[in-house]
Amino acid sequence: MADALVSTFHDSRFPVDENGLVGAAKNGDLNAFNQLVLSNQNLVYHHISSIVRDDQLADDISQITFIKAYQGLSQYRNGSFRAWLLRIATNACYDELRRQKRQQTLPLNPVNTEEDENESPEWLLDTSLSVEQRVEQSELGDWLKRHLDQIPEEFRTTLILVDVLGLDYTEASQALSIPMGTVKSRLARGRVRMHEHLKASPEYQYLS
């Protein structure tokens, strides 16, 4: 199940020397910046999509994000480049959603006995399916995304960043501009919500 999620949301590969590419891009090397775009475009797109939930709008905001990133490269001060990039994407999403609002157009064991989040939620594991039981990964990914779409945005975006796209807590905190404690709280609550939606689904009995 984890493989289906990851392949659905993120199939890019980060450059081996991303910091080197950032340094070159800062010095005006457009080709280096284009490599950064290629390496992060799926990550950025799916993060944006998890917020705005509109494919065309996600495409548009992705382009805006990379334009703003290029224009603001001088403000990047090392650390996690992808977290910095996702923070730009997050802000661009909320700018657009605010604009639309003004226009009126608009684990299966997620917590442990101490009520703390599990580091490796069981809802992301796929140890029980036989070959005969497995559905096509694209179909499984669509099914999982449908359930993710039912989770409130603040929990959904955190789940996707950490459990699907693989950011650590620090990077997620930077990307969302929220304290690390809030990331952990939203992640734990999001896993509970995901568990509830999956458990209520008819497909859950087939997959469990």
Question: Encoding tokens for residue 31?
Answer: 């080709």
Residues 98, 35 share a domain: yes
Residue 74, pLDDT above cutoff 70: yes
Residues 99, 17 share a domain: yes
Residue 116 in domain? no
Residues 16, 99 share a domain: yes
For range 168-181, the mean pLDDT: 92
Q: Quick one: pLDDT band at residue 110, thresholds 50, 70, 90?
A: very low
Residues 19, 73 share a domain: yes
- The answer for 122, left when phi > 0, alpha when psi is -120 to 50, beta otherwise, is alpha
Residues 127, 164 share a domain: yes
By CB atoms closer than 10 A (0-12, 13-18, 19+), residue 25 is buried
pLDDT of residue 143: 58
Residues 71, 139 share a domain: no
Residue 168 in domain? yes
Residues 67, 17 share a domain: yes
The alpha carbon of residue 37 and the mean position of all alpha carbons in its chain are separated, in whole angstroms, by: 16
Residue 86 in domain? yes
The alpha carbon of residue 177 and the mean position of all alpha carbons in its chain are separated, in whole angstroms, by: 14
Residues 158, 88 share a domain: no
Q: Domain of 159: which CATH number?
A: 1.10.10.10
Domain count of the fold of the chain? 2
Q: Which domain, by its residues, includes 87?
A: 11-103
Q: Which of 90, 81, 63 is nearest to 25 (CA)?
A: 81
Residues 58, 130 share a domain: no
Residues 187, 155 share a domain: yes
Q: 116-120 — which CB contacts under 8 Å span 24+ positions?
A: 116/188, 117/184, 117/187, 117/188, 117/191, 118/191
Residue 185 in domain? yes
Q: Quick one: pLDDT band at residue 194, thresholds 50, 70, 90?
A: confident
Q: Domain of 66: which CATH number?
A: 1.10.1740.10
Residues 64, 19 share a domain: yes
Residue 4, pLDDT above cutoff 50: no
Residue 161 in domain? yes
pLDDT of residue 193: 86
Q: Which of 190, 151, 165 is nearest to 13 (CA)?
A: 165
Residue 114 in domain? no
